[in-house]
């Protein structure tokens, strides 16, 4: 559905994107992950036509998005990270204008506005002026204008930032609903855990280059960033994790007073490691409550590429 071939974009001497290639299809929720300044917004602005002076080729359903007079943009809904609204407008008026500009007929516009307001959870604000809205409500209005015309492609730039937990849940539900109707949704974030359970495909972007793409499971399997074992002991036990010193453990990450995640040396066999840990704990009379292998999180895969940048 969307193809980016060798796309590059520079701002003066700063290279925002280097030779970026991506292929996305309908029904996917593409999680676009990278630290601030990695090039996520630049990619989205290219996709939505806001940036035209880039090198490379971008097409939607086989049509170059730079084709003069293209109506492709009517099929895209874009929720920018920081776009403002003219202050004299009310919420309803914002949606009326953008609905008409997106090609919605005046006869169906009122219903489309009602639906978008309801989905974004801002129906009670419909008559309010932009200047009287909170930051979170403005964020949800950005979402409402993006979904108003039921686009085939929904591009959401950091949609969860600045939202309370209930609103985050609502946004995620909208994203899932869109993707379930055989549409493509692109969601960016610099916090992987925000969209780890949401995205069906993930692209990790760092310093303008795509480092890796794949499904969450593929990325986890491809990048076993060290095995992790979680150990818990009987509540009330005072434990000094130094007792595990000398074992093939790279790092001990205490979770609470009676549990810890042990990041193992990747060169050692998992079962051998568990055996050694158990023996050491028992030898120190530590009452083990549980011990289990933990799948490394995508956060660790991400951190490996971004080296701790945020």
Partner 1 sequence: MTFRILYNDELRGFAHSKIIIALWVGLPLLTLLIKFIQPDTEGMPLLFFAGAMVGSIGGTLSAVMLSTMITGERKRHVYDLFLTRPVRRGTLLRAKFFASLTCLLVAAVVSLGLALVVDTVNGVLMPGLGELLGGFLLISVVGLAISSAVGILFGVLIKSTALSAILSLYLGGNLLSAIIMLPTMLLDGQNIPLFTGLLGVLLPTALMVVAVRVFNRKSL
Could you give phi then psi for residue 257, rounded to 5 degrees? -65, -25
- Per CB under 8 A, 48 contacts partner 1: yes
State which residue, 9 or 172, has the beta carbon closest to partner 1. 9
Q: Which of 123, 116, 71, 33 is nearest to 309 (CA)?
A: 33
Span interacting with partner 1, options 78-86, 113-121, 187-195, 299-307, rule CB under 8 A = 78-86
- Interface map 79-108 toward partner 1 (x if CB under 8 A): -x-xxxxx-xx---x---xx-xxxx-----
54 vs 61: CA distance, rounded Å: 20
Give 309's contacts (C-beta < 8 A, 6+ positions apart).
35, 36, 38, 206
- Per CB under 8 A, 32 contacts partner 1: no
State which residue, 151 or 296, has the beta carbon closest to partner 1. 151
308 vs 310: CA distance, rounded Å: 6
Give 228's contacts (C-beta < 8 A, 6+ positions apart).
261, 262, 263, 264, 293, 294, 295, 296
Q: Is 223 helix (H, G, I), strand (E, B) or coil?
A: coil
Cβ pair 158, 188 in contact under 8 A? yes
- Per CB under 8 A, 51 contacts partner 1: yes
- Per CB under 8 A, 294 contacts partner 1: no
Q: Kindly determine how many residues on this chain lie close enough to bind partner 1 according to the rule CB under 8 A.
A: 31
What's the alpha-carbon Rg for the chain, to the nearest Å? 24
| Choice from 12, 13, 71, 271 touching partner 1 (CB under 8 A) | 71
State which residue, 80 or 208, has the beta carbon closest to partner 1. 80
Output the CA–CA distances (angstroms, integers) from residue 142 to 88, 152, 172, 189, in the order listed: 16, 17, 15, 16
- Per CB under 8 A, 217 contacts partner 1: no
142 vs 159: CA distance, rounded Å: 9
Residues 131-150 that bind partner 1 (CB under 8 A): 142, 145
Q: Which of 167, 155, 174, 176 is nearest to 32 (CA)?
A: 155
- Interface map 1-20 toward partner 1 (x if CB under 8 A): ----------x---------
Q: How far is the CB of 92 from partner 1 (least distance, A)?
A: 13
Q: How far is the CB of 207 from partner 1 (least distance, A)?
A: 20
State which residue, 70 or 123, has the beta carbon closest to partner 1. 70
| Choice from 8, 27, 37, 50 touching partner 1 (CB under 8 A) | 50
| Choice from 78, 223, 302, 305 touching partner 1 (CB under 8 A) | 78
Q: Which of 71, 34, 74 is nearest to 208 (CA)?
A: 34
**Binding residues for partner 1 (CB under 8 A):** 11, 45, 48-53, 70-71, 73-74, 76, 78, 80, 82-86, 88-89, 93, 97-98, 100-103, 142, 145
């Amino acid at each position: 559905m969307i193809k980016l071939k060798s796309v590059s974009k520079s701002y003066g001497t700063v290279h925002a994107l280097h030779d970026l290639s991506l292929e996305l299809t309908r029904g996917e929720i593409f999680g676009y992950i990278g630290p601030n300044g990695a090039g996520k917004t630049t990619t989205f602005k290219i996709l939505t036509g806001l940036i035209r002076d880039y090198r490379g080729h971008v097409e939607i359903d086989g049509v170059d998005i730079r084709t003069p007079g293209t109506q492709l943009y009517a099929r895209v809904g874009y929720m920018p990270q920081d776009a403002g609204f003219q202050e004299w407008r009310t919420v309803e008026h914002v949606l009326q204008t953008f609905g008409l500009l997106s090609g919605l007929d005046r006869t169906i516009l009122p219903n489309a506005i009602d639906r978008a307001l309801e989905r974004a959870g801002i129906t009670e604000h419909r008559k309010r002026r932009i200047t009287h809205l909170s930051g979170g409500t403005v964020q949800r209005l950005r979402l409402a204008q993006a979904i108003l015309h039921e686009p085939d492609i929904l591009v959401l730039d950091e949609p969860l930032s600045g939202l309370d937990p209930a609103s985050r849940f609502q946004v995620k539900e909208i994203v899932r609903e869109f993707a379930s109707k055989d549409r493509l949704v692109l969601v960016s974030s610099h916090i992987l855990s925000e969209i780890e359970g949401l995205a069906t495909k993930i692209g990790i972007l760092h310093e303008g280059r795509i480092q890796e793409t794949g499904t969450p499971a593929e990325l986890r399997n491809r990048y076993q960033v060290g095995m992790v074992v979680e150990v818990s002991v009987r509540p009330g036990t005072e434990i000094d994790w130094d007792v595990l010193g000398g074992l093939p453990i790279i790092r001990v990450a205490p979770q609470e007073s009676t549990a810890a995640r042990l990041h193992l040396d990747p060169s050692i066999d998992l079962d051998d490691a568990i055996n050694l840990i158990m023996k050491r704990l028992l030898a120190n009379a530590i009452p083990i409550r549980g011990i289990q292998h933990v799948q490394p999180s995508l956060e660790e895969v991400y951190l490996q590429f971004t080296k701790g940048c945020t």
